[in-house]
């Protein structure tokens, strides 16, 4: 969920992508991930008073949706399938939320779980629960390649946590407005964690130390 997700010698959380996973010799970012610890599609954030009028993405035809540069929503909503939806591209989330409050845009879009986080801090807005689109974004813990033993320990800990009785209540405590069905969909399986953890690309053999 962080655009610049790591600095040397640190561990950070961000979206798992093939570009970030690829070695620097392949023009990637040279990061190993442990995860995902949660997954989400793109969602829609609107003024609460307007929420009931939006049931499908086509309801935004002729409307103006705010996104910010570098996000999955910014790229996804430029696809031909959404060509009738107007885009306002800003530099950050705060500007989009301000414009939604000022009624100069009709909606804001980014990862749906992030939008539920906005609801904790912003009154008068709502996530349209039933509207998701695009591929899933998988969130993981990233570190510079070359720390494989640390990755293995984190993977074991994450797998144990994901199958425990703690994951659901902890998620609900952090994001209480997320409906249970969406929370359950966000929860990773052991296969998910194995497919993305310390690999050079999703699903390939685990990268050598």
User: pLDDT of 136-169, one tens digit each?
Assistant: 899 999 999 988 899 999 999 999 999 999 999 9
pLDDT at residue 11, as a whole number: 53
Structure tokens at 173: 């405590």
Domain with CATH 3.40.190.10 in the chain: 40-135
pLDDT at residue 70, as a whole number: 87
Who contacts 41 (Cβ-Cβ below 8 Å, separation ≥6)? Answer: 111, 112, 132, 133, 134, 135, 136, 137
- Give the C-alpha separation, 209 to 44, whole Å: 41
Question: What pTM was estimated for this model as a whole?
Answer: 0.86
pLDDT at residue 202, as a whole number: 82
- Give the C-alpha separation, 143 to 196, whole Å: 13
Please, what is the average pLDDT of the chain? 90
User: pLDDT of 174-209, one tens digit each?
Assistant: 999 999 999 999 999 999 999 999 998 887 777 666
CA distances from 150 to 19, 48, 194, 198 (A): 21, 44, 15, 10
- Give the C-alpha separation, 26 to 170, whole Å: 38
What CATH number does the domain located at 40-135 have? 3.40.190.10
User: pLDDT of 103-116, one tens digit each?
Assistant: 999 999 999 999 99
Instruction: Provide φ and ψ at 89, rounded to 5°.
Output: -100, 115
Position 8 pLDDT exceeds 90:
no
pLDDT at residue 208, as a whole number: 63
pLDDT at residue 76, as a whole number: 95
């Amino acid at each position: 969920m962080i655009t610049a997700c790591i600095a040397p010698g640190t561990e950070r959380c961000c979206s798992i992508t093939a570009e970030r996973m690829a070695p620097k010799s392949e023009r990637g970012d040279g990061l190993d991930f442990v995860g995902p610890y949660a997954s989400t599609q793109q969602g829609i954030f609107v003024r609460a008073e307007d929420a009931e009028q939006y049931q499908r993405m086509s309801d935004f035809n002729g409307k103006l949706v705010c996104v910010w540069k570098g996000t999955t929503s910014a790229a996804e909503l430029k696809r031909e399938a959404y060509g009738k939806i107007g885009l306002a591209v800003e530099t950050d989330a705060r500007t989009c939320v301000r414009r939604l409050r000022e009624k100069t845009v009709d909606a804001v879009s980014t990862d749906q779980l992030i939008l539920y986080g906005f609801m904790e801090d912003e009154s008068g807005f709502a996530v349209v629960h039933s509207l998701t689109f695009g591929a899933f974004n998988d969130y993981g813990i990233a570190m510079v390649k070359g720390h494989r033993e640390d990755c293995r320990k984190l993977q074991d800990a994450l797998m144990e946590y994901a199958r425990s009785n703690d994951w659901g209540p902890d998620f609900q405590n952090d994001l209480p407005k997320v409906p249970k069905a969406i929370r359950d969909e966000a929860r990773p399986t052991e296969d998910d964690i194995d497919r993305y953890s310390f690999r050079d690309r999703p699903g390939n053999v685990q990268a050598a130390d």
